[in-house]
């Protein structure tokens, strides 16, 4: 998968359909040479334009600055004439920022380098290339790591920095990846949002200058996701080139694309913002998180499927990536903080009767938490609501044959809590300044081991006190004050250490991470939790957009999605119960409502929905997703968008079965049936399926080229779901 052409000084990484090529040029500069459709290893140095003026420095030292400002550097350095965005920058004791990396050695090997103490890809069947470079004046060594996994069109990149010099330096920038693409014909797809409106896809042409999205909030955030794609103007879901980038990281990040004076595009991603500073003392090392780079010549859909496969096979560690997950019911939208043992038991009894398999007790079970004003940090059951603690409730629930799950927000502390009264210093803050409250809470200083231990002891006591099969790990505010430079990185590492402890000591627990809805919906979290709550907006219509955006880079089986009541608590919209279930089946599928308050008709649908989910969940988990619609407003996400319908199909790897879902978002009077072309099927096989009670058999070719006819349905948000079985 990785070759080195000695004569050309060229490294080539091949994935099934793509090649990524680097060249070792004059004076030890490492230049990006090619990334695109797979090509046989050969000398590609022409692409570097080293014979164009101003030539390489050794041929024209006089114009070194021009070379520095236009060569396609693989890991561009600041301060020596490259005025484009740097991937790497050091600062000396006088504040001077400069560095100049030159090649030292390389190594091609089976296996891979794993960045220490942070999430990373893992597994057999991979090959790696390490290229060591040095900044001679400081003695700082940088090793660029590249890994490719068999059968997956993705390249994993990271860098390790080691101060081998005799003086401390300050690291100002250390991105995970930078790629100089040779032209400017790109549009950028990125994801913006807000609380309850996460991951709205936007697609806009690149223009000269820089386009940047970032998070300095200490989490990957509701506002922007650590993902972007550069696509050709003509690229669609199934055709055209797409270059996707993401980061295995859950904290601050920057992603950007710069269109240069020579109409080339520099694309970068890293786990920091411009405020980042890090003391790299002598003999110390620093690992960047891993960036994942995907090239697809077959549209945005194939790009997403490569991310999905990599993350499912080589990032998620939980056994739940392969095994069936229980259908849960969560009491948050059912009761909020207003519950007691009796009320919970009543909901659980009804849920058990309907076949729901896991009861999740959300916020409000501890301290004296009748609202979100208090008690974070006091992880003892509230005896007023739960006399005798959790045990009577868990006994009741397990007695009904259901599993039990519990909500925690372990990174937080309420000013009104015993923990804060005893240890005010546990909350993050800057000496001499007031802390900023958000949702009436502060953030615990997770960079401190004693603080983590204090929370861990409490959590452990609870986890050992009752049969807890599932945990929802929430985080409901962002970092504001940071006590010192580089703090948010230390904070994130602390969070990862706690998560590691949890999954190591309680490996059987199904962990769902969450952050005020979907503010930490990122690949970093997948390493610990196979599913992540995607948004507090459970409205089926809005969820179409949120889930579509999420699936651009994250596996659908990781998208926490529930059926809730109508009028929806976030939008007030009323949608059919059946459609809410069909939309939730794009992700983890569960319920978040008071089953005792549903109509008889709705309740009656639940056992069938659960049975259907169990018959298709394997397809959602292990199959390939083909998005067939694009539910965005006409203004947002150009090309193919519509606000009228959405559709998608999950197809098994062997193409023997599939599940197709169609949602008519808006009804129109006197409209013809809609023809949807399916995708991903075996063209030569026949498939049996049923649409609205009518059985049919058609070949894969027919279904993909002629399509299926969906009747004009009566009402907004009507939907159809059918399995397709190969005959």
Q: Which positions are catalytic?
A: 474, 536
Given the structure tokens 């060569």, which residue do they identify?
71
Give me the least distance between CB of 581 and ligand DGJ, in Å please: 19
Q: Is the dihedral of CA 35, 39, 40, 42 positive or negative?
A: negative
Q: Verify binding: residue 9, ligand DGJ, rule CB under 6 A.
A: no
* Cβ atoms within 10 Å of 363's Cβ, excluding its own: 21
Neighbours of 36 (CB within 10 A): 16
| Closer residue to ligand DGJ (CB): 473 or 626 | 473
Rounded least distance, CB 338 to ligand DGJ, Å = 13
- Give me the phi and psi of 714, to 5 degrees please: -85, 105
Tokens (6 digits) for 6: 């000695």
Based on CB atoms, which residue is closest to ligand DGJ, 100 or 536?
A: 536
Q: How far is the CB of 532 from ligand DGJ (least distance, A)?
A: 10
Identify which range of 80-88, 308-316, 511-519, 630-638 contacts ligand DGJ by CB under 6 A: 511-519
Residue number, 243 or 586, with CB nearest to ligand DGJ: 586
Region for 559 from its dihedrals, namely left if φ exceeds 0, alpha if ψ lies in -120 to 50, beta otherwise: beta
Could you tell me which stretch among 144-152, 301-309, 493-501, 509-517 binds ligand DGJ (CB under 6 A)?
509-517
The strand ranges marked E within 96-139 are 101-110, 126-135
228/242 Cα distance (integer angstroms): 10
Task: Considering the complex, state which of residue 162 and residue 512 has its C-beta at the smaller distance from ligand DGJ.
Answer: 512
Q: Report the site for ligand DGJ in 693-722 (rule: CB under 6 A).
A: none
For ligand DGJ, the binding residue among 252, 474, 539, 594 (CB under 6 A) is: 474
CB of 615 to ligand DGJ, least distance (A): 27
Helices 600-622 & 341-354, crossing angle to 10 degrees? 70
Residue with nearest beta carbon to ligand DGJ: 363
Asked if 198 interacts with ligand DGJ (CB under 6 A), we say no
Triad 254, 257, 259: Cα angle to 5°: 150
For ligand DGJ, the closer CB: 181 or 502: 502
Contact call for residue 536 and ligand DGJ (CB under 6 A): yes
CA 533, distance to chain mean position in Å, is 11
How far is C-alpha 677 from the geometric centre of its chain's CA atoms?
28
Q: Name the phi and psi angles at 104, rounded to 5.
A: -115, -55
Cβ 407 to ligand DGJ, closest distance in Å? 6
Beta carbon of residue 195, minimum distance to ligand DGJ (angstroms, whole number): 9
Select 276 or 332, whichever has its Cβ closest to ligand DGJ.
332
Least Cβ distance, residue 669 to ligand DGJ (angstroms): 38
Instruction: Give dist(CA 446, CA 426) in Å, integer.
Output: 9
Q: Is 516 in the site for ligand DGJ (CB under 6 A)?
A: yes
**DSSP H or E segment with residue 524:** helix 523-526
**Which residue, 9 or 405, is less far from ligand DGJ as judged by CB?**
405
411 touching ligand DGJ, by CB under 6 A:
no
Which region among 64-72, 500-508, 513-521, 540-548 touches ligand DGJ (by CB under 6 A)?
513-521
* Chosen residue from 347, 459, 514, 663 binding ligand DGJ by CB under 6 A: 514
What tokens does 95 get? 């504040």
Task: Closer to ligand DGJ by CB, 99 or 525: give it.
Answer: 525
SS3 assignment, position 379: coil
Cβ 533 to ligand DGJ, closest distance in Å? 5
Q: Would you say 255 or 471 has its CB closer to ligand DGJ?
A: 471
386/364 Cα distance (integer angstroms): 11
d(CA 348, CA 350): 5
**CA–CA separation, 198 vs 194, rounded Å?**
5
CA distance 592 to 316: 25
Q: Does 476 bind ligand DGJ (CB under 6 A)?
A: yes
Burial group, residue 23, by CB count within 10 angstroms (0-12, 13-18, 19+)? buried
- In the bound state with ligand DGJ, the residue whose beta carbon lies nearer, of 119 and 517, is 517
- Our finding on whether 517 is near ligand DGJ (CB under 6 A) is yes
As measured in angstroms, the least distance from the Cβ of 604 to ligand DGJ is 27
Q: Does 537 bind ligand DGJ (CB under 6 A)?
A: no
Query: Where in 147-186 is the site for ligand DGJ (CB under 6 A)?
Result: none
Contact 524, 248 (CB under 8 A): yes
Stretch that binds ligand DGJ, among 210-218, 378-386, 514-522, 625-633 (CB under 6 A): 514-522
Q: Give the span between the Cα atoms of 530 and 323, in whole angstroms.
A: 11
- Across the beta sheet with 278-280, the strand order is 88-91, 169-174, 278-280
Instruction: Report helix, strand or coil for 351.
Output: helix
CB of 512 to ligand DGJ, least distance (A): 10
Q: Is the dihedral of CA 496, 305, 185, 75 positive or negative?
A: positive
The site for ligand DGJ, by CB under 6 A, has a size of 11
Q: Report the C-alpha gap between 273 and 270 in whole angstroms.
A: 8
Shortest Å, Cβ 516 to ligand DGJ: 5
542 forms part of the interface with ligand DGJ (CB under 6 A): no
344-403: which residues touch ligand DGJ (CB under 6 A)? 362-363
**Helices of type H across 466-555:** 487-505, 523-526, 540-551
Of the listed pieces 510-518, 522-530, 547-555, 672-680, which binds ligand DGJ according to CB under 6 A?
Answer: 510-518
Do the bridges between strand 278-280 and strand 169-174 make them parallel or antiparallel, or are there none, so unpaired? antiparallel
DSSP string, 580-633: HHHHHTTTT-EE-S-GGGS-HHHHHHHHHHHHHHHHHHHHHHHSEEEE------
Can you tell me whether residue 313 is helix, strand or coil?
A: helix
As measured in angstroms, the least distance from the Cβ of 462 to ligand DGJ is 17
Cα angle value 263/266/270 (rounded, 5°): 165
Site track for ligand DGJ across 313-342, x = CB under 6 A = -------------------x----------
Distances (CA, A) of 603 to 25, 90, 119, 208, 325: 68, 62, 41, 56, 21
Cβ-based nearer residue to ligand DGJ, 11 or 359: 359
Using DSSP's 3-state secondary structure scheme, residue 505 falls into helix
CB 25 within 8 Å of CB 167: no
Taking the least distance from each CB to ligand DGJ, the nearer of 518 and 555 is 518
At 275, list the tokens. Answer: 């405020």
Binding site for ligand DGJ (CB under 6 A): 332, 362-363, 407, 474, 476, 514, 516-517, 533, 536
């Amino acid at each position: 998968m990785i070759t080195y052409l000695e004569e050309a000084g060229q490294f080539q990484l091949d994935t099934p359909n793509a090649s990524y090529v680097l060249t070792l040029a004059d004076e030890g500069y490492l230049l990006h040479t090619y990334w695109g459709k797979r090509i046989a290893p050969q000398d590609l140095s022409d692409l570097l334009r080293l014979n164009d003026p101003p030539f390489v420095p050794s041929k024209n030292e006089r114009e070194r600055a021009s070379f520095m400002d236009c060569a396609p550097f693989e890991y561009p350095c600041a301060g020596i004439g490259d005025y484009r965005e740097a991937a790497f920058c050091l600062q000396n004791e006088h504040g001077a920022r400069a560095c100049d990396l030159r090649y030292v050695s390389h190594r091609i090997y089976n296996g891979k380098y794993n960045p220490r103490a942070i999430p990373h890809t893992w597994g057999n069947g991979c090959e790696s290339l390490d290229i060591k470079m040095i900044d001679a004046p400081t003695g700082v060594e940088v090793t660029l790591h590249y890994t490719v996994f068999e059968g997956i069109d993705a390249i994993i990149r990271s860098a390790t920095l080691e101060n081998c010099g005799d003086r401390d330096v300050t690291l100002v920038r250390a991105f995970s990846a930078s790629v100089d693409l040779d032209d400017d014909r790109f549009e950028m797809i990125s994801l913006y949002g807000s609380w309850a409106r996460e991951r709205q896809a936007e697609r806009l042409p690149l223009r000269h200058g820089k386009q940047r999205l970032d998070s300095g909030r200490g989490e990957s955030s509701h506002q922007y996701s650590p993902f972007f794609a550069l696509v050709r103007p003509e690229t669609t879901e199934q055709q055209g080139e797409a270059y996707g980038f993401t980061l295995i990281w859950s904290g601050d990040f920057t992603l950007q694309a710069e269109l240069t004076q020579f109409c080339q595009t520099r694309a970068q991603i890293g786990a920091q913002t411009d405020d980042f500073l890090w003391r790299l003392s002598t003999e110390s090392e620093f690992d960047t998180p891993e960036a994942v780079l995907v090239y697809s010549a077959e549209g945005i859909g194939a790009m997403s499927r490569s991310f999905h496969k990599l993350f499912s096979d080589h990032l998620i560690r939980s056994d739940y990536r392969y095994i069936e997950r229980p259908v849960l019911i969560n009491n948050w939208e059912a009761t909020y903080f207003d519950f007691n043992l009796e009320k919970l038991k009543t909901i659980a009894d009804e849920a058990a009767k309907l076949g729901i398999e896991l009861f999740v007790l959300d916020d409000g079970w501890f301290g004296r938490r009748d609202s979100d004003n208090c008690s974070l940090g006091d992880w003892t059951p509230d005896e007023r609501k739960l006399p005798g603690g959790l045990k009577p409730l868990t006994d009741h629930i397990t007695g009904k044959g259901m599993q039990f799950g519990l909500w925690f927000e372990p990174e937080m502390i309420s000013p009104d809590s015993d923990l804060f009264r005893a240890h005010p210093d546990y909350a993050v803050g800057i000496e001499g300044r007031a802390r900023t409250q958000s949702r009436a809470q502060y953030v615990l200083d997770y960079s401190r081991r004693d603080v983590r231990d204090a929370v861990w002891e409490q959590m452990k006591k609870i986890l050992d006190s009752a049969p807890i099969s599932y945990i929802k790990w929430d985080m409901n505010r962002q970092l504001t004050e940071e006590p010192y430079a580089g703090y948010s990185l230390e904070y994130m590492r602390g969070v990862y250490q706690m998560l590691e402890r949890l999954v190591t000591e309680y490996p059987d627990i199904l962990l769902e991470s969450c952050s005020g809805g979907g503010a930490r919906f990122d690949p970093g979290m997948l390493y610990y939790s196979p599913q992540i709550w995607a948004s507090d907006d459970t409205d089926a219509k809005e969820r179409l957009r949120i889930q579509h955006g999420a699936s651009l880079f994250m596996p659908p089986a990781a998208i926490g999605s529930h059926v809730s009541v109508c009028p929806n608590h976030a939008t007030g919209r009323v949608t059919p119960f059946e459609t809410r279930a069909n939309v939730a089946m794009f992700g983890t599928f569960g319920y978040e409502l008071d089953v005792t308050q549903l109509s008889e008709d709705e309740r009656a649908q639940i056992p069938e929905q659960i049975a259907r989910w169990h018959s298709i969940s394997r397809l959602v988990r292990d199959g390939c997703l083909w998005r067939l619609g694009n539910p965005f407003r006409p203004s947002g996400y150009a090309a193919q968008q519509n606000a009228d319908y959405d559709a998608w199909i999950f197809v098994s790897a062997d193409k023997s079965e599939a599940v197709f879902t169609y949602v008519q978002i808006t009804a129109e009077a006197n409209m013809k049936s809609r023809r949807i072309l399916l995708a991903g099927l075996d063209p030569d096989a026949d498939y049996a399926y049923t649409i609205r009670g009518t059985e049919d058999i058609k070949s894969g070719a027919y279904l993909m080229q002629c399509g299926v006819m969906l009747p004009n349905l009566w009402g907004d948000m009507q939907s159809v779901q059918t399995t397709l079985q190969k005959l």
